[in-house]
Amino acid sequence: MSSPTLALPTAAPAPSRLADWTTMIGRCLRVSRRNPEAIIISLALPIMLMLLFVYLFGGAINTGTAYVTYVVPGVLLLCAGFGCSITAQTVSHDLNTGVIDRFRSMDVSGAALLAGHVVASLARNVVATTLVLVVAFLIGFRPNAGLADWLAAGGILLLFMLMMSWLAAAVGLLTKSPEGAGGFTFFVSFLPYPSSAFVPVHTMPSWIQGFAENQPITPVIESLRALLLGLPVGSHPLHAILWCVGLLAVSIWLSGVLFRRRTG
């Protein structure tokens, strides 16, 4: 084909990719702030569950400590899970509106777009889990942890939330509609039950114990619990980190594959 087109000017300055990342992160943080309903929903359910477990069932469950202290790590994870299901929905929303075509036609990378969602997801989760902790303190949560323990627990929780956020992004890319992506909520609300989140595993039927002992939530919860209560942590943090890093790698890889598939 002939190309008699040299005369056309190059219109835009070469864009800096770093600005794409910061701009997309700024976008998602701003949009999150304007949608407080989302955070409230992801907070309300875990807090209600915590109250329910502590005041209704707590008396009947013997965990060796005050039940509220036992249950807080599980509630934190549940809260993070609900927060991430919003991420699945916002990612799905972007992919189902004209927004994605515009960003792609501007050469914004999928990585920058998804990173915006993931960072906003982490920010929402940090706010929500902090609020859950405040409520927990108000109803009698009394951890026994030094600064190093708190930092370690925070780090593991953050890693878990990062992993869940990327997993949610993958779910958002996989589902055809934001409503479908909301189904992630169901998945995350189910996972903590067959774990040591609410009751000790040894009280469960033996056929569930095998699953509960070995699913990724359990080492995360056990690590948080041991760190916050000043108990020996054993190999739980190692297992927790391996699980989270592994699932994080899979989720990021899956997101990349799905993004390319969705956007041809």
Q: Where does this chain bind another protein (CB under 8 A)?
A: 1-16, 19-20, 22-23, 26-27, 30-31, 34-35, 93, 96-99, 101-108, 178, 263-264
Cβ neighbours of residue 187 closer than 8 Å, sequence gap 6 or more: none
What's the chain's length in residues? 264
Shortest Å, Cβ 6 to another protein = 7
Scan for tokens 């569950």, then name that residue: 49
Q: Closer CB to another protein, residue 28 or residue 128? A: 28
Residues in CB range of 111: below 8 A, 6 or more apart: 256
Which of 181, 87, 90 minimizes the C-alpha distance to 128? 87
Token output for 260: 């390319």
Residue 61, CA atoms < 13 Å, CB-side half-sphere: 24
Nearer CB in complex with another protein: 88/188: 88
Q: Which is nearer to another protein, 7 or 147 (CB)?
A: 7
The percent helix, strand, coil of the chain (3-state, each to 5) is: 75, 0, 25
Q: How far apart are CA 37 and CA 11, in angstroms?
A: 41
Is the Cβ of residue 14 or residue 148 nearer to another protein in the bound state?
A: 14
With contact defined as beta carbons under 8 Å apart, do 228 and 153 qualify? yes
Choice between 6 and 147, CB closer to another protein: 6
Q: Which is nearer to another protein, 155 or 180 (CB)?
A: 180
Cβ distance to another protein smaller for residue 29 or 159: 29
Structure tokens at 110: 């999928």
Q: Which of 98, 99, 100, 106 is nearest to 15 (CA)?
A: 106
Contacting residues for 25 by C-beta, under 8 A, at least 6 apart: 115, 116, 119, 120
